[in-house]
Amino acid sequence: MQQMKLPVRVSDIPVSIQTDPTATDSANVMASSKEDHRLWAIEAMEQERNNEIKELKGTHAKQIRALQQVHEQTTAYGDQRCGESRA
C-alpha cells in the first residue's frame, strides 16, 4: 500500500516558543499566539490528511468487496454453464 507523506513531520516542529527577553509581555504573547496558530494549522492539516487516508482505505475496501462478488458470480455462472454442457 502506498503511503502518503505529510508536508511536515510533527517531529520537525520546534516545541519551544521563541521569546525576546527585552520585548514587552504583549509582544511575547503575540509571538506565542502566532506559534500556537502555526501548530494548530499543522495539526489541522494532519487531521485532514488522516481523514483522506481513512476515506481512501474505505473506498478501496468497498472496491475489493465488489470485485470479490463479481468473481463469485462469474465463477458460479461458469460452473453452471459447464455443468449444463456436460449433461
Consecutive 10-residue runs of the chain (87 residues): their mean pLDDT? Answer: 56 56 62 79 90 91 91 84 64
- The phi, psi pair for 6, rounded to 5°, reads -75, 150
What pLDDT score was predicted for residue 11? 58
What pLDDT score was predicted for residue 66? 92
User: Which amino acid makes up residue 43?
Assistant: E
CA distance 57 to 66: 14
What pLDDT score was predicted for residue 77? 81
DSSP state of 23: S
Dig out the grid coordinates for 15 from the structure.
Answer: 516545541
Dig out the grid coordinates for 70 from the structure.
Answer: 463479481
What pLDDT score was predicted for residue 40? 86
What pLDDT score was predicted for residue 52? 92
The number of angstroms, rounded, from the C-alpha of 32 to the middle of its chain's C-alpha atoms is 29
What pLDDT score was predicted for residue 24? 62
Task: Tell me how far CA of residue 57 lies from CA of 13, 37, 64, 66, in angstroms.
Answer: 28, 30, 11, 14
